Amino acid sequence: MSLILYNFLHSTCSQKVRLVLWQKGIEVENRIVDHKIREQTSDWYLKLNPNGVVPTLVHDGAIIIDSSVIMEYLDEVFPETPLTPADPVERAHMRKWMRYFEEVPTPSIRVPTFNQYLAKKLAKFSDEEYLELANNHPIRKQFYLRMKKGVGFDDRDTEEAIDRLRQTIVRIEKGLEESGGPWLMGENLTLADYCVVPVFDRMDDLGLAGIWAENEIFIAWFDRIKNLEAFKLTYCERSRLSEIM
C-alpha cells in the first residue's frame, strides 16, 4: 500500500487530516510542500490538485483532494477506530457539523491569520508581483485581492470573521449541551470534532483565545481534545505559525 500526504505542517486543513491519520494509527508518507517558494502553485502540484492548496492524499495512485473529503475517505477505507457514526441519521448530523465548519469558521480564520502573518510579509511585493501571486492561486485569487498588500483586511472583514468565530464557539457549546458530551456527537469522538479543532488551535496561536474565556463547556471540550495523543502528535515542532514566521 502506498499512502502519501502532501501538506504543510502549519496548514489548518492539513492538520485536520493528520489528526485523523494519527487517531486511526494509519502509516503515511508525509511529504512537506514548500510554502516559501509557493510549491503548491507549481505545475507538478497543480496536476495533483488543481485548486493549488494543501492537503492532497495519494492512495495507491488515486488522488483525493479537499481536507474534509480526505477525512471521510480515510474513515471509509480504514474502518478500524471508526470516526463516523454507524446510524445514518447520526451520520447526517455529523456531516451537518462538518459543512457548517467548512462554511463558517474555516474561511473566517484565514482573515486574522493573513492580517498577522502574511500582509506585512507581502508588503515587499510590487503591485505587479502581488497580482501575479493572486492569479497563481486558483481558488484564493479573490481572497488575496481583497486583502490590502502590507496592511491586511479592512475592519469590516476582520470584524465579520471574528464574529463568525465567536458564533462557532457558541454553536459548539449548545451542541455539546444537547449531545450530553463529551464530544459533539455525544459519547463518541467523530470527524466533526477533528474537523474544527485546528481553527481553535490557530486562534490560540494568534492570541485570540480570550474570545472563549467564559465558555466553560467549550473549554472543557477543547482541553479533552488537547489531551488526546493524536493532537499531541499532530502539533509537532514547527506546526504553528508563531514558530516559523
For residue 13, pLDDT over 90 is answered with: yes
- Does 166 lie in the same domain as 72? no
Proportion of the chain above pLDDT 70, given as a percent: 100
Q: How does the average pLDDT of the chain come out, rounded?
A: 96
> How many angstroms from the chain centroid is the CA of residue 131?
26
Residues 70 and 94 in one domain: no
Residue 117: CB atoms within 10 A of its CB come to: 18
Do 72 and 94 lie in one domain? The reply is no
What pLDDT score does 245 carry? 82
Query: Are 189 and 162 contained in the same domain?
Result: yes
Does pLDDT of 178 surpass 90? Answer: yes
| pLDDT classification of 218: cutoffs 50, 70, 90 | very high
> For 127-140, what is the mean pLDDT?
91
Domain tally for the chain? 2
The confidence band for 21, taking pLDDT boundaries of 50, 70 and 90, is very high
Assigned domain for 21 exists: yes
If asked whether residues 71 and 104 sit together in one domain, one would say no
Domain assignment of residue 97, yes or no: yes
Domain shared by 7 and 111, yes or no: no
Q: Is 161 exposed, middle or buried (0-12, 13-18, 19+ CB in 10 A)?
A: buried
Give CA–CA dist 124/67, Å, rounded.
31
pLDDT number for residue 150: 84
Q: Is the pLDDT reported for residue 120 higher than 90?
A: no
Identify the weakest region by mean pLDDT among 121-130, 177-186, 191-200, 225-234: 121-130
pTM recorded for the entire structure: 0.96
Residue that finishes a domain, picked among 51, 77, 103: 77
The pLDDT of residue 209: 98
The burial of 229, by beta-carbon neighbours within 10 Å (0-12 exposed, 13-18 middle, 19 or more buried), is given as exposed
User: Average pLDDT, stretch 55-78?
Assistant: 98
Same domain flag for 59 and 113: no
CATH number of the domain enclosing 31: 3.40.30.10
Mean pLDDT, range 183-206, rounded to an integer: 98
- In angstroms, how far is CA 206 from the centroid of its own chain? 15
- For residue 111, pLDDT beyond 90: yes
Do 218 and 105 fall within a single domain? Answer: yes
Asked if residue 103 and residue 135 are part of one domain, the reply reads yes
Range of the domain at 195: 88-228
| pLDDT confidence of residue 238 | 95
**Same domain membership, residue 100 and residue 68:** no
Q: Per the domain annotation, does 178 fall within a domain?
A: yes
Write down the pLDDT at residue 148: 87
| Residue 235, domain member (yes or no) | no
- Are 52 and 160 part of one and the same domain? no
What CATH number corresponds to the domain at position 116? 1.20.1050.10
Separation between Cα atoms, residue 245 and residue 243, nearest integer Å: 6
| In the predicted structure, residue 116 carries a pLDDT above the cut 90 | yes
Does residue 238 belong to any structural domain of this protein? no
Residue 33 cell numbers, joined: 510542500
Q: Are residues 53 and 117 located together in one domain of the fold?
A: no
- With respect to residue 200, please indicate whether it lies within any of the assigned structural domains: yes
Q: Does 118 have pLDDT greater than 90? A: no
